[in-house]
């Protein structure tokens, strides 16, 4: 059994703040410090660099964090699988979805579970870069992601099937849209910040965004603000702090406070993706589901 106190290390490695780590686990800072000191003493290496103003991981600490996080997740998955067997489930599937796909997959997964009540399905949401890495590492069985994510699996090979397609829209608040009455989406983009969930690297990178803008509008923009969730992205748009490029299937776009401008670019495909090394029979089952 994994020592639950290893979570002290994982939390501290992620937040790099002893006060925050202690608060998350409802223990004293002294308890966190003593555990980290004992762990470093056991390993014979320094995992953290400490000063009066900051905490950071050493190179050894970074590697230890990556490995321990993977082992921790594998252990948690094993516990879930064991419980699923005990609850008389005959199969277990780990599915990953991107930031947007939750809006248009309820019917698919609902139908699959209704027809296969003996199968336990856990669904996790990640940014596209992490989604891709977890599929490669075998921490997910299948993922639902935009078609551009498939480039991350070209070396490994992959199989995919299209679940749905959707156009993209430039979205603004009513007040912002009113400033550009009669203008094109390109004019709006030139005058406003673009609020995006694109990451620095990975399939949905800032470079990918730049290429998308060039293809759609003939120019890019340096007036970009990055967020890490749909809620934050649309909150900023709703508050008049900028505009966003988002898929048209988002339920939030039904909000009357938003004005949506269709883009001329081709529709985006959203696929169910599995890697060839996956031997989970339930993965094959969901890949074939509904195709008859």
Q: Would you say residue 74 lies in a domain?
A: no
* pLDDT value of position 292: 58
Greatest CA separation for the chain: 68
- Are 216 and 222 within 8 A, CB to CB? no
pLDDT exceeds cutoff 90 at 9? yes
Q: Would you say residue 240 lies in a domain?
A: yes
Q: Would you say residue 76 lies in a domain?
A: no
Residues 53 and 119 in one domain: no
pLDDT exceeds cutoff 90 at 284? yes
Q: How confident is the model at residue 209 (pLDDT cuts 50, 70, 90)?
A: very high
Task: Report the CATH number at residue 180.
Answer: 3.40.190.10
**DSSP H or E stretch at residue 206:** helix 206-217
Task: Report the CATH number at residue 52.
Answer: 1.10.10.10
* pLDDT value of position 192: 96
- Mean pLDDT value across residues 199-206: 90
What 3-state class would DSSP assign to 202?
Answer: coil
Residues 145 and 284 in one domain: yes
Q: Is the dihedral of CA 83, 87, 90, 92 positive or negative?
A: negative
- Supply the range of the domain harboring residue 34: 6-69
Q: Would you say residue 162 lies in a domain?
A: no
Q: Would you say residue 51 lies in a domain?
A: yes
Residues 61 and 118 in one domain: no
pTM of the model: 0.70
Q: Would you say residue 214 lies in a domain?
A: yes
* pLDDT value of position 4: 74
Q: Please tell me the total count of domains within the chain.
A: 3
pLDDT exceeds cutoff 90 at 144? yes
Q: Would you say residue 81 lies in a domain?
A: no
Q: Would you say residue 200 lies in a domain?
A: yes
The rounded distance, in Å, linking the Cα atoms of 55 and 61 is: 12
The rounded distance, in Å, linking the Cα atoms of 161 and 149 is: 13
Residues 107 and 174 in one domain: no
* pLDDT value of position 88: 67
The rounded distance, in Å, linking the Cα atoms of 279 and 131 is: 19
């Amino acid at each position: 059994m994994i020592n639950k106190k290893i979570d002290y290390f994982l939390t501290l490695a992620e937040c790099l703040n002893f006060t925050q780590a202690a608060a998350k686990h409802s223990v004293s800072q002294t308890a966190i410090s003593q555990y980290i000191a004992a762990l470093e003493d056991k390993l014979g290496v320094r995992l953290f660099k400490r000063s009066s103003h900051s905490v950071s991981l050493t190179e050894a600490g970074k590697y230890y964090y990556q490995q321990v996080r993977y082992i921790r997740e594998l252990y948690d998955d094993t516990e879930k699988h064991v419980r699923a067997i005990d609850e008389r489930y005959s199969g277990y599937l780990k599915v990953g979805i991107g930031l947007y796909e939750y809006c248009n997959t309820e019917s698919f997964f609902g139908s699959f579970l209704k027809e296969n009540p003996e199968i336990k399905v856990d669904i996790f949401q990640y940014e596209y870069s992490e989604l891709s890495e977890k599929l490669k590492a075998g921490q997910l069985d299948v993922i639902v992601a935009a078609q551009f994510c498939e480039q991350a699996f070209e070396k490994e090979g992959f199989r995919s099937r299209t679940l749905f397609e959707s156009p993209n829209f430039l979205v603004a608040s009513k007040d912002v849209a009113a400033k550009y009455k009669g203008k094109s989406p390109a004019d709006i983009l030139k005058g406003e910040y673009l609020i995006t969930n694109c990451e620095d690297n990975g399939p949905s990178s800032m470079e990918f965004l730049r290429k998308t803008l060039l293809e759609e509008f003939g120019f890019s923009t340096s007036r970009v603000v990055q967020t890490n969730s749909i809620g934050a992205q649309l909150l900023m748009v709703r508050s008049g702090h900028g505009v966003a490029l988002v898929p048209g299937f988002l339920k939030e776009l039904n909000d009357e406070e938003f004005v949506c401008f269709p883009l001329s670019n081709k529709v985006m495909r959203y696929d169910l993706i599995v890697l060839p090394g996956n031997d989970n029979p339930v993965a094959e089952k969901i890949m074939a589901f509904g195709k008859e």
